[in-house]
Amino acid sequence: MPFFPQEDYQCGPAALATVLGWSGVEVTPDVLTPQLYIPEKKGSLQAEMLVAPARHGRLAAELPKTPAALLDELAAGHPVVVLQNLSLPTQPVWHYAVLVGVNPQTNDVTLRSGRIRERVMDWSTFMATWQRAGNWAMVVLPPGQVPASATATAYIQGALALERAKHPGEAEAAFAAGQARWPDEVLLPFGLANARYARKDLAGAEQALRIALQVNPDAMPVLNNLAQVLTEQGCAALAIPYAERALALAGERAAQVQTTLDQARAAASAGASCRRETGATSS
């Protein structure tokens, strides 16, 4: 675990640089400060802490607000960024630290905190400071690793952040790992398809979209994207039924789906075909 002694009001960048360094990204708090620090707040907000790792190709996920979540992540070998209130609820002193260990024999925790590399704090004091800050915590992981305790919703937000940050390879790894963990979440194979499409892997995108349809056969965006991917592969006749089903479910997005259907029909009329349509291979 790296350590960055905190400068004034720099606990957010220091904590994030610590866990990014653990995950394999070499970055200093000075690099992160412009992305995180809000002068009028004299600190960093949780939303910025969750978004910034994606810019560096890492997945961030907020954890459930329970002590068990902290322990589960530590047991999995994941350091945890925690927010503490080191003062009274009415006069808060907000502070980010990195939880790196718990010792059940001595009933204390070890933190990378402030200017102290290994700050030891008894469990009850730590819990009081953490609870006064709303029990907020997060982990930062290399794509392909899944938090031990995070919900599917929190994980998907982290994977989508990678996609928005234009890291398609990392997003693909994150969505694939999430799909294995939560096979009933349609957004995970859908996101996997988008990541593969961004890399121009049309066959891989089609495969992921078909998995998404198995999870939710009436997911309009999945139907529409599958029709588009099939058309781009030259399989326009196969695309038309999916586009028609998507149009029936489109509602306010009918114009977008109509465009997909028109393109598929035009390609089919122009004679576009694929081996699956002609029977050369099975579909």
Report the percent of the chain where pLDDT is more than 70: 93
Residues 209 and 227 in one domain: no
Which residue range is the domain that position 256 belongs to?
218-270
DSSP code of 91?
Answer: B
**Contact by Cβ (8 Å): 228, 266:** no
Residues 200 and 240 in one domain: no
**Contact by Cβ (8 Å): 156, 178:** yes
Residues 212 and 222 in one domain: no
Number of domains in the chain: 3
Cα–Cα dist 243/227, whole Å: 5
Structure tokens at 275: 């081996």
**Contact by Cβ (8 Å): 208, 193:** yes
Contacts of 5 (CB under 8 A, 6+ apart): 14, 114, 115
User: Does residue 159 fall inside a structural domain?
Assistant: no
Mean pLDDT over the full length of the chain: 92
Please check the confidence at residue 122 and state whether its pLDDT lies above 90: yes
Residues 189 and 224 in one domain: no
Q: Is 86 helix (H, G, I), strand (E, B) or coil?
A: coil
The residue-averaged pLDDT of 66-70 equals: 98
**270 versus 157: which is more confidently predicted?**
157
Please check the confidence at residue 55 and state whether its pLDDT lies above 50: yes
Residues 26 and 105 in one domain: yes
Residues 18 and 136 in one domain: yes
Residues 242 and 209 in one domain: no
pLDDT at 89: 81
- Residue range 164-215, pLDDT digits in tens: 999 999 999 999 999 999 999 999 999 999 999 999 999 999 999 999 999 9
How many Å from the N-terminal Cα to the C-terminal Cα in the chain? 50
**Contact by Cβ (8 Å): 137, 70:** yes
Question: In DSSP terms, which residues pair with 95 in a beta bridge?
Answer: 84
C-alpha distances in Å from residue 219, one per residue of 11, 158, 224, 226: 43, 22, 9, 11
